[in-house]
Amino acid sequence: MLDNVVDFVTNPIVVLVLLPIISLLFITSLFTKGLGIGGILGSILLVLFFAAHSIEGYSSPGLIFLFLIGVLFIFLELIIPGLIIGTIGFASISASILYTGADFMLTAYALAIALVVAILGMVILMKLFGKKMSVFNRMVLTDSTDTEKGYVSNVNRTELLQREAKTVTPLRPSGVVMLDGERLDVVSEGSFIDVDCLVVIIKVEGSRVVVREKKE
């Protein structure tokens, strides 16, 4: 039974179909949270590919090590973008698979087809189905900067003019005031203003809010 499986997986014609399927499975995993079903199935088929070729004597520990180094570099590329590490990782993976195959030329064709299938699959998922790569969502800052979280927009907020606020830090001349539960970075006209003092907003210029102490 095992011999039949090994003979089937190492058949160059089967490899010509197997590698594109693996690439497509991994592409689908990029659009799901975590590894996903596609990533799990792709990993199983990839392990089966190397295991079968190792049993038949086509692969070697060095090629498997080269493949693992390539995978590590791909993960590093996701953490430290720059294309150089990712390119080295992709080249290492491709070389390990290429020299593992029983037939060099058919394996090369299989890799080329796998690359085309991966690109087409990515384009179809993004353009036709509107999918977004979840792996990039983990790399991009998505926290919103709204007033509920204490952030203030840099637009010219003229509605603040003549409003009263209370200082929560000393103004030396810059500091923070509280206006209806919203923290505002402000500057005084130039004089020092202590904590818990009432101030009036007299000027708004973009992100610069100028206040004056309200006299009793």
- For residues 115 and 122, give the distance between their C-alpha atoms in angstroms, rounded to a whole number: 11
Q: Where are the domains of the chain?
A: 1-59+101-129, 158-213
Helix pair 36-55, 61-79: axis angle to 10 deg: 160
CA atoms within 13 A on the CB side of 145: 5
Residues 185, 174 contacting (CB under 8 angstroms):
yes
pLDDT of residue 136: 52
Between 27 and 131, name the one with better pLDDT.
27
pTM above 0.85, yes or no: no
Length of the chain: 216
Q: 3-class SS at 10?
A: coil
> For 68-93, what is each residue's pLDDT tens digit?
999 999 888 777 767 788 899 999 99
Q: Above 90 in pLDDT, residue 129? A: no
Residues 131, 112 contacting (CB under 8 angstroms):
no
- Rounded to an integer, the average pLDDT of 160-164 is 91
* The three-state (H, E, C) secondary structure of 71-135, written as one string: HHHHHHHHHCCCCHHHHHHHHHHHHHHHHHCCCHHHHHHHHHHHHHHHHHHHHHHHHHCCCCCHH
pLDDT of residue 47: 93
Is domain 158-213 given the CATH code 2.40.50.140 in the classification?
Answer: yes
Residues 181, 148 contacting (CB under 8 angstroms):
no
- Rounded to an integer, the average pLDDT of 1-23 is 93
Residues 6 or more apart whose CB falls under 8 angstroms from that of 75 comprise none
pLDDT of residue 140: 46
Q: Whose CA is closest to 16, among 115, 111, 117?
A: 111
Q: Above 70 in pLDDT, residue 13? A: yes
pLDDT of residue 80: 78
Q: How confident is the model at residue 2 (pLDDT cuts 50, 70, 90)?
A: confident
- For residues 162 and 21, give the distance between their C-alpha atoms in angstroms, rounded to a whole number: 66
- For residues 67 and 97, give the distance between their C-alpha atoms in angstroms, rounded to a whole number: 8
